[in-house]
Structure 1
Amino acid sequence: MITNTEIEKRGNQYPDHIVDFKHESDKFYFTTHNGVILELTILRDSMIRFRYATEHVFEPDFSYAISDDVNLGYNELEVIEEIAEYIITTSKIKIYINKSNLKVHIFDMENALIMEDELGFHWEENYAYGGNIVKMGKICHSGESYYGMGDKASHTNLKGKRVNNWVTDSYAYGKDQEPLYKSIPFYVGLKENIAYGVFFDNSFSTYFDFANEKRNVTSFWADGGEMNYYFFYGPEMSKVVESYTDLTGVPELPPLWALGFHQSKWSYFPESKVKEIASTFRKLQIPCDAIYLDIDYMDGFRCFTWDEQRFPNPKKMIEELEEDGFKTITMIDPGIKIDREYWVYQQAMENGFFCRRADGPHFKGKVWPGECKFPDFTDPEVREWWAGLYKEMIADVGVHGVWNDMNEPAVMEVPSKTANLDVRHNYDGHPCSHRKAHNVYGMQMVRATYDGIKKYTFPKRPFVLTRAAYSGTQRYASTWTGDNVATWEHLWIANVQMQRMCMSGYSFVGSDIGGFAEQPNGELFARWMQLAIFHPFCRVHSSGDHGDQEPWSFGEEITEIVKKYIELRYQLLPYLYTMFYKYIKNGLPMLQSLVFYDQKDTQTHFRTDEFLFGEQLLVCPVQEPNAQGRRMYFPQGKWYNYWTDEVVSGGVEKWVAAEIETIPLFVREGAMVPKYPVQQYVGEKEIKELGIDVYYKDGVENSSVYEDQQDGYDYKKGRYSLRRFRLRGKENQLIIQQFKDGNFTTPYEKFKLTFHGLPFTISTVQLDNEVVNNTDIKLNGNNIIEISKDFTELHIIGK
């Protein structure tokens, strides 16, 4: 990887003085004497796009990352020309453009400096490939911190780190290894309690140096393309992440079963083995919603085929699994086996859908089937064809979801692990080489897959899983963090990767529970499961060549622990579903690092282990063997120990007991946590009542629960139920108000409220201003009440 010093020695060029200025609606153009043009676009009062051209010419303006549904518009806009600079002002920020060198400084409305150019924009002619290596240098201030950047296997705070975005098959990667499976060139900066964000929308190989080489400089650069970045102003981290997520998009609500527990292995075959796994789950009463079929279900690893010896009647098998509550997920890779008798290969050849090298021949690479050719998913015609290939698998055979693996694309037996850089791509009408298309290749494959799955599963919702991703891929698929290892270090890595991905706009994410490579012992597997039930996507997946990795594979004691936590996952499904609703509605990350939760507390800036599951559950995994507990930091507020109801005041680090059967888990005071009864799979039971754990608070707290039919699209027509609760506690009373939205009628009629930490004994209960008899509300002791779901105000008075 080239260094900043090397960059500066290699003939950098810089903008000189401005000779022309134009203002057109929301855009400003600054042209320098040496042919640099800065196009500055006001997207919102707090979202600005900076785009630079050299030699007076912009490249075609096209991006796969930007959502069609992004919200644009600003309230105020003013430009002033001073002697030395132009000043552009919105209702949130002021942008200073230096006339002599085009450098940018950004301030808030209180004149606090947010971000400033160091070298600013500069570039170097790339004589090896043509075009420019484009670069940007910013000042790094003392105490400034950096977060985000997707699936990086390093500390949540990137200060002092350097990372590379080049989507790579990274089998058994290690801590701090670069690059990995995803390219998400977005970071959140935090300076003196002011948060801002930068998204460098460039699909070439990109590099970020967060004060690694020079402690006062943060820089980012790309091997080609444009210097094209978006600036987001907070000042809260939540506002930055929400703005970035709005810009790059969110998924639809998944079917609720996709949030259940999933079991996978490389590979479950033949059919009898798949049925044995399913049967054991039901016999042991361990909840599970989906079983995955890896590449060995195919005929010689040919995508969209079945091995007739191993799976003689896949349609019947899938129907029988579904009768027992299991969804079936199959893997599809991008490499198409070179076989003139293979119908997928024939169609792609006849229509010219395979990628070609610069001099004309098809690109070939070895993957699981042997020599393969690869469709050009950046061609819209190819994507339409690929989507249509799923008809038989989904509509006819009945597969419920698809898993796109190896889509970096991964290629074997070559040092680069991927396609040659001279491979040509359509890039939606903007022809380019693989240097530009590589990072979006997997994204466009899974986009095509999503289109096909959505079409053929309708009126149900699609479920798609991808390994490779670029910013915006969250619109199409869930993801996981690739081929990890069964080690305690990787348990730590999984924890920070989930937090980082969620802060990077990609919340539907999980890891291979227990590790993909090598074999965990029972303790590591149990600790990993305890963590992973608090990840949005929850799946065991292993290479299988080291031993079995099912919940029952490690002895009776571990089986009971694993079962306990999977059951907790299913109890928390309405809470998790509500988290997902808030993610797609407001861009709120489903997991929150402590710094995201409370950026004002400098103690949170370097915490890696603790995180918020949603907004009200505080989780801290045990990440060392033989531990009887651990120290953890509690953010501001009061927190109930989920297991004991002991209350801890925040702002301190404390020892928490946590033997093998326990993970440190705490609930924010005032929370109302919705729960379903334990089910063996989503939809097994009709929900007769909604349980709600109510945690007393002397003060006010808001909670909510979102529900719908758990699948299908009626929720988009208003058929959903959103209940918002306002809890207000006083010395000897508790008031809960309910506000309802949506016209979906939930199947249950009652709430079962379980109270925690009430400082009084209940003497009187008023329901919508009327005193009710204790027998009518089934008052059970001092902590359980069953009431109608339709109340407006519940008033509990103590004595």
Structure 2
Amino acid sequence: MITNTEIEKRGNQQPDHIVDFKQENDKLHFTTQNGVILELTILRDSAIRFRYATEHVFEPDFSYALNDDVNSGYNELSVEEETAAYIVSTSKINIHIKKSNLKVKITDKEGTVISEDELGFHWEENYDYGGNIVKMSKVCHSGESYYGMGDKASHTNLKGKRVNNWVTDSYAYGKDQEPLYKAIPFYVGLNQNMAYGVFFDNSFSTYFDFANEKRNVTSFWADGGEMNYYFFYGPKMGQVVEAYTDLTGVPELPPLWALGFHQSKWSYYPEKKVKDLAATFRKLEIPCDAIYLDIDYMDGFRCFTWDKQRFPDPKKMIQELEADGFKTVTMIDPGIKIDRDYWVYQEAMENEYFCRRADGPHFKGKVWPGECKFPDFTNPEVREWWAGLYKEMIADMGVHGVWNDMNEPAVMEVPTKTANLDVRHDYDGHRCSHRKAHNVYGMQMVRATYNGIKKYTFPKRPFVLTRAAYSGTQRYCATWTGDNVATWEHLWIANVQMQRMALSGYSFVGSDIGGFAEQPNGELFARWMQLAIFHPFCRVHSSGDHGDQEPWSFGQEITGIVRKFIELRYKLLPYIYTTFYKYIKDGLPMIQSLVFYDQEDTQTHFRTDEFLFGEQMLVCPVQEPNAQGRRMYFPKGNWYNYWTDEVISGGVEKWVSAPLHVIPFYIKEGAMIPKYPVQQYVGEKEIKELEIDIYFKEGMENSEVYEDQQDGYDYKKGRFSLRRFRLRGKENELIIQQFKDGNYITTYDIFKLSFHGLPFTIGIVEVDNEEVSPEDIKLNGNNSIEISKDFTELHIIGK
């Protein structure tokens, strides 16, 4: 990896003094004597794009990362020229651009420095490949912290770390290993309690040094392309992440079954084994919504084919699984076997869809089928063709979802584990080498897959899963963190990776529960399952060569514990679905590190274990063997123990009890948590009543419940139900107001309200200003009542 010092020794170049300034609406151009142009684009009052050109020339402006529908517009923009600098002002920040060297300093309106250039923009000509190595260095202030960067297997706080973004097949990776499967060049900085974000939108191999080489310098650079980054000012972390997520996009709502429990393995075959697996889930009454078929369902690992010996009638099998509540998800890889009798290969050859090397021959690489060629997914014509290949699998066979693996792309038996750097790509008309296209290759594959699945599953919603990703891939699919290991260390890694991914705009994420490589014991498997039910994507997956890893594989005690937590997952589905809705609507991460929840509390800045699931659940996994409890930090607020209703006030670290059948799990005071009855799969039961757990608070708290038909697109036409609740608790009374939106009519008419922590005995109950009798609401002591879902105000008064 190239270091700052090495670049400087090899003769970096820097901008000199500004000789020209021009403004065109929201774009400002500052040109230096030696041909550097800084293009400043004001997206919002707190979101600014910085783009640098050398030799007076910008590259074509194109990015795969950006959402088509980005919110833009600002309230104020002015430029003031002073003796030493230009000052660009919006309603939120001031940007100081030094005339002598183009260095940038950003302050809030009170003049407090948020971010400032150290050496600033500099570059070095890349004599090996052409173009420039482009670099930006900024001052690292005392006490500054850094978060984000996707699936890095390191501490949530990146201070003192160096990372590399080059999507890589990293089988059995370890703690702090670089690089991994995803390239998400976005971080959140926290400086003097002010949060800001930087998104370096460059698809070449990029590097970030967070005060590792020099303790007072944070820098980022790329092996090619432009210095092109976006700056977001908070001052709250939530505002920064929302702005980045708005820029790079969010997915559609998934079908609700995609949020259930999924079972996978390399591999379940033949057909009888798949059916036996399904039957065992139902026999043992362990909820499950999806079964995955890895590469062994294919004919010789040829994508879009079936092995007729192992699966003689796949359509019938899929129908039978569906009748028992199981969705079928199949694996598709990018490598296409070189076989003149193979129809997918024939079509790609006839239409020139495969990637070529610099001098013309097709790029070849060994993957599971043997020698393969690889479609150029950066070509829109190839993406359209690839999407069409799913017609038989989805529309005819009835497969419900698709899993794109090995799409870094992974190539076997070569030191780089991937394609040669001289491989050529279309890049949507901006032709380039693999150096530029590598990090987006998997993203564009899964984009094509998503378009095909969406077309052929309509009017249902698509479900797609990817291993490789670049910023913006979250628009198309869920993801998981790749080939992890069945160790306690990897349980810790999974926890921090989920937090980091969610903070990086990618919430629909999970890990291989129990570990992909090696074999967990029952205790590790149970503890991992306890954590994973609080991850948006919840799937067991294992390499299969070390034994079974189904919920019942570790003896009766572990089976009971695992069943209990999968059942909890299904109870919490309306809460999880509502949390997903908020992620799509507001860009709110589904998983929140404690620092995201309360950045003002410096105790949260280095916490890795505790996290919030949604806005009202606090979770802390047990990550050591033989533990009967652990120390846990409670952030601000009061928190109810889910298991005992004990209330703990925040701002303290405490020892909490956690025997093997318990995970430390707390509910925010004032929360109203919706629950469904336990189902063996989504849609098994018609929901007759919605249970809502109410956790008393003296004061006010807001909660929401979002519901729709759980699949399909009617929700986009108003067929949804959004209920907002405002809880106000007093010493001797509780008032709950409900505000309703949407025209979807739920299958239930009744709320069962279950109370936790009421400080008084229920005496009088009024619904919409009318007193109701205990019999009419099925008053159960101080524990619960049942009322119509359509109430506007509920007033409970103590005796």
TM-score (norm 2): 1.00
Residue 240 of structure 1 deviates from its aligned partner by 0.1
The one-letter code matched in structure 1 to 2:294 is: D
What are the residue-to-residue correspondences of 1:417-436 with 2, within 5 Å?
A: 417-436=417-436
The one-letter code matched in structure 2 to 1:308 is: K
Name 1:57's counterpart in structure 2: 57
Name 1:439's counterpart in structure 2: 439
Name 1:651's counterpart in structure 2: 651
Name 1:154's counterpart in structure 2: 154
What are the residue-to-residue correspondences of 1:23-102 with 2, within 5 Å?
A: 23-102=23-102
Name 1:737's counterpart in structure 2: 737
Q: 1:585-611: CA deviations, max 9, x gaps?
A: 000000000000000000000000000
Hey, what's the Cα distance between the residues in 2 that align with 1:192 and 1:139? Answer: 14
The one-letter code matched in structure 1 to 2:787 is: I
Residue 662 of structure 1 deviates from its aligned partner by 0.3
Name 1:408's counterpart in structure 2: 408
Task: State the secondary structure of the residue aligned to 2:673.
Answer: strand
Name 1:6's counterpart in structure 2: 6
Hey, what's the Cα distance between the residues in 2 that align with 1:645 and 1:682? Answer: 29
Name 2:510's counterpart in structure 1: 510
Task: State the secondary structure of the residue aligned to 1:239.
Answer: helix
Task: State the secondary structure of the residue aligned to 1:552.
Answer: coil
Name 2:243's counterpart in structure 1: 243
Match status 1:218 vs 2:203: no
The one-letter code matched in structure 1 to 2:493 is: I
Name 1:365's counterpart in structure 2: 365
Name 2:689's counterpart in structure 1: 689
Match status 1:448 vs 2:448: yes
The one-letter code matched in structure 1 to 2:165 is: N
Match status 1:295 vs 2:295: yes
Task: State the secondary structure of the residue aligned to 2:150.
Answer: coil
Residue 110 of structure 1 deviates from its aligned partner by 1.4
Residue 4 of structure 1 deviates from its aligned partner by 1.3
Name 1:130's counterpart in structure 2: 130
Hey, what's the Cα distance between the residues in 1 that align with 2:582 and 2:639? Answer: 22
Name 1:710's counterpart in structure 2: 710
Residue 67 of structure 1 deviates from its aligned partner by 0.3
Hey, what's the Cα distance between the residues in 2 that align with 1:324 and 1:69? Answer: 40
Hey, what's the Cα distance between the residues in 1 that align with 2:6 and 2:122? Answer: 14
Match status 1:753 vs 2:746: no
The one-letter code matched in structure 2 to 1:79 is: V
Task: State the secondary structure of the residue aligned to 2:738.
Answer: strand
Hey, what's the Cα distance between the residues in 2 that align with 1:111 and 1:163? Answer: 32
Task: State the secondary structure of the residue aligned to 2:135.
Answer: strand
Name 2:788's counterpart in structure 1: 788
Q: 1:203-228: CA deviations, max 9, x gaps?
A: 00000000001000000000000000
Hey, what's the Cα distance between the residues in 2 that align with 1:644 and 1:38? Answer: 59
What are the residue-to-residue correspondences of 1:508-547 with 2, within 5 Å?
A: 508-547=508-547
Name 1:475's counterpart in structure 2: 475
The one-letter code matched in structure 2 to 1:707 is: E
Residue 111 of structure 1 deviates from its aligned partner by 1.1
Residue 627 of structure 1 deviates from its aligned partner by 0.0
Name 1:112's counterpart in structure 2: 112
The one-letter code matched in structure 2 to 1:283 is: K
Hey, what's the Cα distance between the residues in 2 that align with 1:110 and 1:571? Answer: 48
Residue 505 of structure 1 deviates from its aligned partner by 0.1
Residue 3 of structure 1 deviates from its aligned partner by 1.3
The one-letter code matched in structure 2 to 1:728 is: R
Hey, what's the Cα distance between the residues in 2 that align with 1:346 and 1:752? Answer: 60
Residue 707 of structure 1 deviates from its aligned partner by 0.1
Q: 1:674-705: CA deviations, max 9, x gaps?
A: 00000000000000000000000000000000
Q: 1:633-670: CA deviations, max 9, x gaps?
A: 00011000000000000000000000000000000000
Task: State the secondary structure of the residue aligned to 2:568.
Answer: helix
Residue 781 of structure 1 deviates from its aligned partner by 1.1
Match status 1:462 vs 2:467: no
Residue 2 of structure 1 deviates from its aligned partner by 1.3
The one-letter code matched in structure 2 to 1:690 is: L
Name 2:675's counterpart in structure 1: 675
Name 2:592's counterpart in structure 1: 592
Hey, what's the Cα distance between the residues in 2 that align with 1:782 and 1:114? Answer: 51
Name 1:385's counterpart in structure 2: 385
Name 2:318's counterpart in structure 1: 318
The one-letter code matched in structure 2 to 1:733 is: E
The one-letter code matched in structure 1 to 2:765 is: V
Which structure 2 segments of 5+ residues have no match?
none
Hey, what's the Cα distance between the residues in 2 that align with 1:8 and 1:195? Answer: 30
Q: 1:15-52: CA deviations, max 9, x gaps?
A: 00000100000000000000000000000001000000
Hey, what's the Cα distance between the residues in 2 that align with 1:492 and 1:197? Answer: 26
Q: Percent identity?
A: 86
Residue 7 of structure 1 deviates from its aligned partner by 1.4
Hey, what's the Cα distance between the residues in 1 that align with 2:67 and 2:782? Answer: 51
Residue 8 of structure 1 deviates from its aligned partner by 1.1
Name 2:335's counterpart in structure 1: 335
Task: State the secondary structure of the residue aligned to 1:315.
Answer: helix
The one-letter code matched in structure 2 to 1:92 is: K
The one-letter code matched in structure 1 to 2:659 is: E
Name 1:309's counterpart in structure 2: 309
Task: State the secondary structure of the residue aligned to 1:605.
Answer: helix
Hey, what's the Cα distance between the residues in 2 that align with 1:256 and 1:558? Answer: 27
Hey, what's the Cα distance between the residues in 2 that align with 1:714 and 1:566? Answer: 29
Q: 1:461-503: CA deviations, max 9, x gaps?
A: 0000000000000000100000000000000000000000000
Match status 1:185 vs 2:155: no
Match status 1:195 vs 2:195: yes
The one-letter code matched in structure 1 to 2:709 is: Q
The one-letter code matched in structure 2 to 1:209 is: D
Hey, what's the Cα distance between the residues in 1 that align with 2:716 and 2:197? Answer: 31
Name 2:552's counterpart in structure 1: 552
Name 1:277's counterpart in structure 2: 277
Task: State the secondary structure of the residue aligned to 1:535.
Answer: coil
Q: 1:205-262: CA deviations, max 9, x gaps?
A: 0000000010000000000000000000000000000000000000000000000000
Task: State the secondary structure of the residue aligned to 2:606.
Answer: coil
Hey, what's the Cα distance between the residues in 2 that align with 1:250 and 1:638? Answer: 32
Hey, what's the Cα distance between the residues in 1 that align with 2:523 and 2:782? Answer: 38
Residue 399 of structure 1 deviates from its aligned partner by 0.1
Structure 1 stretches of 4+ with a deviation exceeding 3 A read none
Residue 5 of structure 1 deviates from its aligned partner by 1.1
Hey, what's the Cα distance between the residues in 1 that align with 2:296 and 2:117? Answer: 53
Hey, what's the Cα distance between the residues in 1 that align with 2:682 and 2:186? Answer: 35
Hey, what's the Cα distance between the residues in 2 that align with 1:3 and 1:447? Answer: 34
Number of aligned pairs? 799
Task: State the secondary structure of the residue aligned to 2:548.
Answer: coil
Hey, what's the Cα distance between the residues in 2 that align with 1:112 and 1:572? Answer: 43
Residue 783 of structure 1 deviates from its aligned partner by 1.2
Residue 350 of structure 1 deviates from its aligned partner by 0.1
The root-mean-square deviation of aligned C-alpha atoms, in Å, is 0.3
Hey, what's the Cα distance between the residues in 1 that align with 2:404 and 2:221? Answer: 29
TM-score (norm 1): 1.00
Task: State the secondary structure of the residue aligned to 2:686.
Answer: coil
Residue 785 of structure 1 deviates from its aligned partner by 0.5
